[in-house]
Structure 1
Amino acid sequence: MTFLSPERLWLLGLLPALAAVYVLMQLRRRNYAVRFTNLALLSQVAPRRPGWRRHVAAALFLVMIALMMVGFARPAATVKVPRDRATIMVAVDVSLSMMARDVSPSRFEAAKAAAKKFIGELPARFNVGVVAFAGNANLVAAPSDDRTAAIASLDQLALAKRTAIGEAVFTSLQAVRSFDAEARQDPPPAHIVLLSDGDNTTGRTVQEAIDASRVSQIPVSTIAFGTPYGTVDIEGETTSVSVNKETLRALADSTEGKAYEAADADQLREVYANIGTSLGFETEHRDVAARYIGIALLFALAAGGASLAWFSRLP
């Protein structure tokens, strides 16, 4: 529970004192009744009634006061609100290591298929852009709400040497800053989803990409795709291409993104589905004090009704 005015909760400390005063008054009432030695008169001064009824109205009253105090502290509920102009940049590794067939039919083909499904299922309010990176990074689909263009761009991708993860982040950040006429002064809320199976081997460093993402306040979520057993044949030589999870996790953790791992096509689709449900929202704290005040009024009515029914008076 979040409170917008938590300093007001100190009032709850008065409740035990109020309850203690009530108990003392009940004991004092009993002591006054015992002073009468004439038992005939005692039954008239303190007639026997079900004891618990006497305390119900008081208990309901105390609960009402507690709820009113909590409401006075302005409790707030955490809600997710869709973000206007939300932009998702999908960065896909097209280095030669993506030829590996440890994922069927290959890392490259599985990555393209999963990215297409991810883009196609994004809510209509999202803008989406696509970046491909190997020895450098290229914006192959500018961010827009045109799903057809973004998906078609994935079919045009071709593999190349080296892996420029840092450049992929910089290219994605530049695409966000160029989104529309307002983007330079008021960039849209954005998130980068970067899929790779390797380490940064060329271009600007991952640390430079982290610093730039922090300045832009754009998180980078990463997907480490592939198994430790992948191999590719390059110029007649078989080369091991295991996934460098540490680099990708550092990039995600340092930019307030999330780091995912996927060892096959099914896991990759699941990762994209999880990402799709978490992006494009911002968290807000909405005042729900009226909810507590409303419940307090119900307890007040219950206390008043019980007191009137049993004792013909208000508490």
Structure 2
Amino acid sequence: MTFLSPVWLWLLVPALLIAVLYVVMYLRRSRYALRFTNLDLLERLAPKRPGWRRHVPATAFMGMLVLLVVGFARPTAEVRVPREQATIIVAFDVSASMRATDVAPNRFAAAQQAARRFVGDLPSRFNLGLVTFSSSASVSVPPTADRAAVLSAIDRLTTDSGTAIGEAVFSSLDAIDALEGSEGGDRPPAHIVLMSDGSSTMGRTPELAAREAASRRVPVSTIAYGTPDGTIQMGGRETSVPVDGPALRELAGSTGGGFYEAASGDELRAVYDDIGSSVGYRTERQEIWPWFVGVALLGAVVAAGTSLFWFSRIL
């Protein structure tokens, strides 16, 4: 928390002095009571002692003063607010290794299910596109507000050989640029969500794609999906297809995106939920002084109310 007018905080000094004066006066009264040797007479004169209640109005009053001073200093904080508009590209790995059954029922089917949920949970005001990649990459659905088109394309996906991660990023960037050209004006924030389970084996390198995405200020969040024990049947024999995350981690780090690892369908859904939350909101620094003033007024009500109820006076 920061303050736009911190000079007002100096008023906390007299508030602290008032608190110290209250404690000193209370201790003086306590010492005077101890000097009163006729305890029976003291009991008749003051049969009911307020005890802790005597301090409630003063404490509420001091809290009100402190909160008002902080409010006058105009405190600010980082606040998450919904984005009005954004473009999200989901880059979906459809390479043959996605048929591995280390994730039930297999990586591909679980990834389809998680992607469908991600599409359904995104704010309707966002443009959403789908890029698929194996040995090459292509834009299956250009960025659009039509969720049905994206969901239908996800349902039609099939697997193929090869993994071209770099080409997937370049195709996603091209789709974002095409939308910018068709809509005109300032481009809304864009984000690429790329999921893969293997190393890039075809096309331009992820390093080259990362530099291009960074230059266009488009973060790429990557998901390494699967386990080290994944296998598929290829050419009549079992082939190991362990998940490989280092390249995806570097791609995300170089572009300002997030890197995630998911070893099950549930974990993948949780990753998509986290990404959806992060791209659906932006962080702004806003003034929060009304909260302090509001609580201060509540403190004033508590101070006056308890004093009037217990002691028949307002402070």
TM-score, structure 2 normalization:
0.77
User: 2:247 maps to what in 1?
Assistant: 247
Which stretch has the larger CA shift, 51-60 or 88-97?
Answer: 51-60
For 1:308 and 1:97, the matched residues in 2 are separated by: 75
Q: How does 1:2-151 map to 2 (within 5 A)?
A: 2-5=1-4, 7=6, 8-22=8-22, 58-76=58-76, 78-151=78-151
Task: Please say if residues 78 and 285 of structure 1, whose CA atoms lie closer than 8 Å, have aligned partners that are also in contact.
Answer: yes
**Alpha-carbon deviations, 1:174-225, whole Å to 9, x = none?**
2222224476752212222111011122333323333333333332222211
**Alpha-carbon deviations, 1:7-45, whole Å to 9, x = none?**
3545434433343355567789999x9xxxxxxxxx9xx
Q: Which runs of 5+ in 1 are unaligned?
A: 34-42
For 2:60 and 2:266, the matched residues in 1 are separated by: 55
Change (3 A) 1:84 1:59: closer
User: 1:196 maps to what in 2?
Assistant: 196
Task: Please say if residues 5 and 72 of structure 2, whose CA atoms lie closer than 8 Å, have aligned partners that are also in contact.
Answer: no
Which stretch has the larger CA shift, 283-292 or 134-143?
Answer: 283-292
Identity rate of aligned residues, in percent? 48
For 1:266 and 1:305, the matched residues in 2 are separated by: 52
For 1:203 and 1:60, the matched residues in 2 are separated by: 68
Q: Which amino acid aligns with 1:15?
A: A
SS at structure 2 position matched to 1:203 = coil
User: 1:282 maps to what in 2?
Assistant: 282
For 1:260 and 1:221, the matched residues in 2 are separated by: 8
SS at structure 1 position matched to 2:179 = coil
Task: Please say if residues 222 and 252 of structure 2, whose CA atoms lie closer than 8 Å, have aligned partners that are also in contact.
Answer: yes
Which stretch has the larger CA shift, 225-234 or 12-21?
Answer: 12-21
SS at structure 1 position matched to 2:159 = coil
Task: Please say if residues 127 and 143 of structure 1, whose CA atoms lie closer than 8 Å, have aligned partners that are also in contact.
Answer: yes
TM-score, structure 1 normalization:
0.77
Change (3 A) 1:246 1:305: same
SS at structure 1 position matched to 2:15 = helix
Number of corresponding residues: 303
TM-aligned CA deviation for residue 59 of structure 1: 4.0
Task: Please say if residues 136 and 168 of structure 1, whose CA atoms lie closer than 8 Å, have aligned partners that are also in contact.
Answer: yes
RMSD: 3.7
Change (3 A) 1:201 1:10: farther
